[in-house]
Amino acid sequence: MSYQAIHEKLASGRLVVLDGAIGTEILRRNVTWADHQLENQPALVRAIHQDYIRAGADVISTNSFQLSRRAIESHFRDQAHRRQVGSADLDGRAARLLDASVKLAREARDQAAAGRPVAVAAAVTTLEWCFRPDLAPTEQSAEREYAEIFETVARAGADLILLETVNSITEARIAAMEAQHAKLPIWVSFVCDEQGELFTGETLESATRALEPLGVGAILLNCAPPPDIAAGLARLAGRTSLPLGAYPHIGRFDPPEWLFTDEYPPERYRAALEPWRERGASILGGCCGTTPDHIAAIGSLA
């Protein structure tokens, strides 16, 4: 029912407000993002979700970016090495934390939405590092791994999948098909370069043609600075009937965490996104570096 309300809002052309950053917001509150803090500091994660709901978010995304079996196992040479030196609970950790990420978001909605329809989107990204399409797994591996992730978040009660920071059409297509099998709506959000194209060199127009027949609910762009997102949206304008959305990052990536800068305070952020709304973008939110104040600011674009 929560997603149905969002679907109806999009169908009528009204603005759907997506939440802002989770991981960098944890850092901003002086806590490390290691292990996503889903078990060590669940109250903190829940409070961030609540703050985004109170800021006006219609969709809140789970704190599950790059949370997968592959991401955990990649720290080891192979399975034998993991069994030799790894923690005893690693086999089930990804599923357990994915489940917790959805449940914390649902709890936050129950406590803060005050009857307003708010959808919980399971945030999932590429199986390898999102800026490196050359590292992508085989298609068979991707099918198997996305199926495992989507089945887990579906059981936990997610309303939709937000597949974000996607760098290739192939991985997006595989994930969209697996979302169909899991019977969950899916939005696909690509990361684009400064020319508004995918990191593989593929075009966003080709991406929309590949995804439209697969039941994708919206095409978005994320995890790039506002000027890069603007270039991507210009490539998409008029080339798809699907709802369009965007949620740029602000600041700079400072591996393994984030460098906060003051380039885009909330009102400037709102001003940067306003032309996108005028050109038809119907989903707006924030990626790394954004805060509940940024989300509250863009709510006035509705």
Domain map (residue ranges) of the chain: 2-301
How far is residue 260's CA from residue 257's CA, in Å, rounded to a whole number?
10
The three-point CA angle 17-149-200 to 5° equals: 70
> Which has the closest alpha carbon to 228: 249, 214, 201?
249
Residue with tokens 């937000």: 162
How high is the pLDDT of residue 1? 61
pTM score, whole prediction: 0.95
How high is the pLDDT of residue 237? 87
* Residues across the chain: 302
How high is the pLDDT of residue 89? 76
How far is residue 53's CA from residue 295's CA, in Å, rounded to a whole number?
9
How high is the pLDDT of residue 91? 79
Please check whether residue 195 is in contact with residue 231, taking contact to mean a CB–CB distance below 8 angstroms: yes
Identify whether 117 is preceded by a cis peptide bond (ω within 30 of 0): no
CATH homologous superfamily, domain 2-301: Homocysteine-binding-like domain (3.20.20.330)
What's the Rg (C-alpha) of the chain?
Answer: 18
How far is residue 48's CA from residue 61's CA, in Å, rounded to a whole number?
11
For residue 100, give both structure tokens: 């917790």
Identify whether 133 is preceded by a cis peptide bond (ω within 30 of 0): no
How high is the pLDDT of residue 35? 72
Q: Going residue by residue through the chain (302 aa), what tens digit of pLDDT does each one get?
A: 689 999 999 999 999 999 999 999 999 998 887 779 999 999 999 999 999 999 999 999 999 999 998 888 787 778 888 787 877 777 788 999 999 999 999 999 999 999 999 999 999 999 999 999 999 999 999 999 999 999 999 999 999 999 999 999 999 999 999 999 999 999 999 999 999 999 999 999 999 999 999 999 999 999 999 999 999 999 998 889 999 999 999 999 888 888 899 999 999 999 999 999 998 999 999 999 999 999 999 999 98
